[in-house]
């Protein structure tokens, strides 16, 4: 069987995303065949495309999708044809109409969650869940700093932090993004291109610094994040949209106030089947109780190149999806 897909034959800029027809390999015992109804666009897709996170070539990019099971392998018991499902922790390969993947990486999709919302929130929402509950456990009243507060993960993270009762301080690239972040629970926004982030955070925390920084920007925000933390604060470095940060000597963490540093990944926090299902249930529950999934950008799968240009150029807010 053939399917429409975006393939990367060599790493590089958005122009290496090539639309073509590819053959889907024979379904294995433990796999299911899915028809994607919506595909999530995530910054990690850019790291794969440009080679910062190297993958064997050629590959079909994309971690996230939502759709319908069309066929099951002989050994699959938990799913059947026609089931609505979503996924974001399997191997790459979601930029396509049909794909096969291991059944144990699927999340059953409740009827009250649309395919588009699922593709816009599963990866970003599961990330927010483990960041605030497990990589560091945020408590009510704590002061938290996050970068890219109006981005895909940022918009969900702001809402989650607000739900816990934390004070949310977020950096953003424009006044429009500041408004957007505020609408989603960010108490204080900082325009990092105009304001001194460390000074504003110091003022907002009476000179104490924040308990935790969620930094997904990496290279350009690293020192700022370090200098915004209070004593024994947590530096959660979970992305590198601006490039990989330089290595740090352990003594620096001591000098800055006995800080903790972690570089977590979603795949490690949802590695076991029960972790994945539990985290997804927590996310869907929050969705039912008011989590806003903001799909601000929709692109046809054929326009994946344009979608990558937008995301990479900081022109997006909230979530983006591709429609195959
Ligand atoms: N470790 C994990 O488990 C995990 C899981 C999911 C996502 N992530 C990471 O979380 C981050 C957010 O992902 P996302 O898909 O939701 O993307 P996003 O936040 O919607 O987009 C990235 C944002 O980063 C900011 N940014 C600052 N400097 C940038 C630069 N030089 N180039 C590009 N963007 C820059 C921009 O916001 P401003 O204009 O406001 O600065 C931009 O809109 C990414 O770093 C991603 O890798 C990590």
Buried b (16+ CB within 10 A) or exposed e, 54-91: eeeeebbbbbbbbbbbbebbeebeebeeebbbbbbbbe
- 181: Cβ below 6 Å to ligand 1? no
CA of 74 to the centre of ligand 1 (A): 40
CA of 253 to the centre of ligand 1 (A): 24
Which of 216, 267, 275 to mutate for ligand 1's pocket (most ligand atoms within 8 Å of CB)? 216
CA of 14 to the centre of ligand 1 (A): 16
pLDDT recorded at residue 131 = 98
| Closest residue CA from atom 20 of ligand 1 | 151
Q: What is the mean pLDDT of residues 186-198?
A: 98
- 282: Cβ below 6 Å to ligand 1? no
Tokens (6 digits) for 106? 């699927």
Domains observed in the chain? 2-121+270-323 (3.90.180.10), 140-262 (3.40.50.720)
Rounded Cα–Cα distance for residues 291 and 208 (Å): 31
pLDDT recorded at residue 227 = 98
**What would the pLDDT profile of 259-301 be if each residue is shown by its tens digit?**
999 999 999 999 999 999 999 999 999 999 999 999 999 999 9
pTM of the model: 0.98
């Amino acid at each position: 069987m053939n399917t429409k897909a975006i393939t990367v034959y060599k790493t590089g800029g958005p122009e290496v995303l090539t639309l073509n027809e590819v053959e889907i390999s024979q379904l294995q015992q433990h796999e299911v065949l899915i028809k994607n109804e919506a595909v999530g666009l995530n910054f990690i897709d850019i790291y794969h495309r440009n080679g910062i996170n190297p993958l064997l070539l050629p590959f079909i990019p994309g971690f996230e999708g939502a759709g319908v099971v069309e066929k099951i392998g002989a050994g699959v018991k938990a799913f059947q044809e026609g089931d609505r499902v979503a996924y974001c922790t399997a191997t790459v390969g979601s930029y396509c109409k049909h794909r096969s993947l291991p059944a144990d990486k699927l999340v059953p999709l409740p009827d009250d969650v649309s395919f588009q919302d699922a593709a816009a929130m599963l990866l970003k929402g599961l990330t927010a869940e483990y960041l605030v509950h497990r990589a560091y456990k945020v408590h009510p009243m704590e002061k938290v700093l996050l970068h890219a507060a109006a981005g895909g993960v940022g918009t969900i993270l702001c809402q989650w932090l607000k739900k816990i009762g934390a004070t949310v301080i977020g950096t953003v690239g424009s006044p429009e993004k500041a408004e957007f972040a505020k609408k989603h629970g960010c108490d204080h926004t900082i325009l990092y291109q105009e304001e001194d982030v460390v000074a504003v955070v110091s003022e907002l925390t009476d000179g104490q610094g924040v308990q935790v920084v969620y930094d997904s920007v990496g290279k350009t925000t690293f020192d700022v994040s370090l200098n915004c933390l209070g004593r024994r604060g947590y530096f959660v470095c979970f992305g590198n949209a601006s490039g990989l940060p330089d290595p740090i000597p352990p003594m620096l963490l001591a000098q800055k106030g006995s800080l903790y540093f972690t570089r977590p990944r979603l795949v490690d926090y949802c590695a076991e089947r029960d972790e994945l299902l539990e985290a997804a249930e927590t996310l869907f529950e929050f969705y039912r109780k008011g989590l806003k999934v903001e799909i601000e950008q929709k692109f046809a799968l054929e326009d994946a190149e344009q979608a990558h240009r937008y995301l990479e150029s900081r022109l997006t807010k909230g979530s983006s999806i591709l429609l195959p």
